[in-house]
Amino acid sequence: MGLARASLGMGRPAPRCTSSTFRCHDGGMAIGFDEFSRKHSQLVHYAANGVDERRVAEAGLLSVTALLQTLADVSGRVKWRPLGQGDWREADWEELNRRPRGRDQLEVQGSDGRGGVLNDQGPLTLRGLTTLHERGRLLGGLNPGDWIAALNARVYFWADEAMRKTFRAKYERGGRLQAIVLVTAQMPESLRQKIRVSKINGGAINGFAERGPDTYAPLASVGFRLSQVKEITIEGRVTPAELRACGAGDWLRRLLAE
């Protein structure tokens, strides 16, 4: 897991019962929402590039896919460039959505001047993805571009408190990180239905663990225990109404020293 995958206006399987396989929907196990909300009473989403509160209020939290779709013109094109570097280039939003970013950050912009930042996908590299593919570790006929698109299709929240604190310490050096905090128990049904969790960090190689269409599973059919959850995601986007329902009416909060 890393920085928030997309920042609007600112500017990440269940086992088939073997340790190396992470397919979900094989049946057998489920996580109840009450159990989930007791363990993860708050969900924290970081925006590391500074947040335009007005834009978040207008659009909600967008996955990379949702952001690119929002910015694309009628022909499906968006402008992009390495963050703060060089001239703008153009690409089809779907092609850009499938392109590995590695440790690069990209600025993207629509024809109307609206923009966003696509943060890095380190430590996931094209070389690593290619090796996964060559070893048959991408399931369901997926190729590296398909997996990048699968990662981009969701909004990420922290499942591990220790990792969250380590991340915060690393990226807070240049200024305090901002966070959007959701109260899990207050999630409306529309948001609960979009929760997907994973037993692996989909944005890392993880010893070449298998991954595929079912890596991110709904709570009702995860096939593993709550204690094994490594990533918590929301598919697509969190709408402004859903943010308000979850107690994020103040939109953004700076993290307090703990």
pLDDT tens string 228-250: 999 999 999 999 899 989 987 65
pLDDT grade, residue 37 (50/70/90)?
very high
Look up residue 55 and give its DSSP letter.
Answer: H
Please report whether residue 33 resides in a domain. yes
Please report whether residue 93 resides in a domain. yes
Element housing 108 (H / E): strand 106-109
Question: 2 CB contacts (<8 Å, ≥6 apart)?
Answer: 12, 119, 120, 121, 122, 167, 203
Q: What is the predicted pLDDT for the residue at 103?
A: 75
**Polymer length of the chain:** 258
* Domain region containing 92: 6-12+14-254
Mean pLDDT of the chain: 81
The model carries a pTM of: 0.83
Alpha-carbon gap, residue 115 to 109, rounded angstroms: 4
Please report whether residue 163 resides in a domain. yes
Please report whether residue 36 resides in a domain. yes
Rounded to whole angstroms, what are the CA distances from 217 to 65, 125, 197, 205? 18, 24, 5, 19
238 close to 66: Cβ distance less than 8 angstroms: no
Q: What is the predicted pLDDT for the residue at 132?
A: 93
Please report whether residue 55 resides in a domain. yes
Please report whether residue 50 resides in a domain. yes
Segment 195-232, tens digit of pLDDT = 999 999 898 887 789 999 999 999 999 989 999 999 99
**For residue 145, is pLDDT > 60?**
yes
Neighbours of 87 (CB within 10 A): 6
Q: What's at 166, amino acid-wise?
A: T
Please report whether residue 1 resides in a domain. no
CA-based max dimension of the chain: 52
Report how many domains make up the chain: 1
Q: What is the predicted pLDDT for the residue at 19?
A: 29
Segment 184-195, tens digit of pLDDT = 999 999 999 999
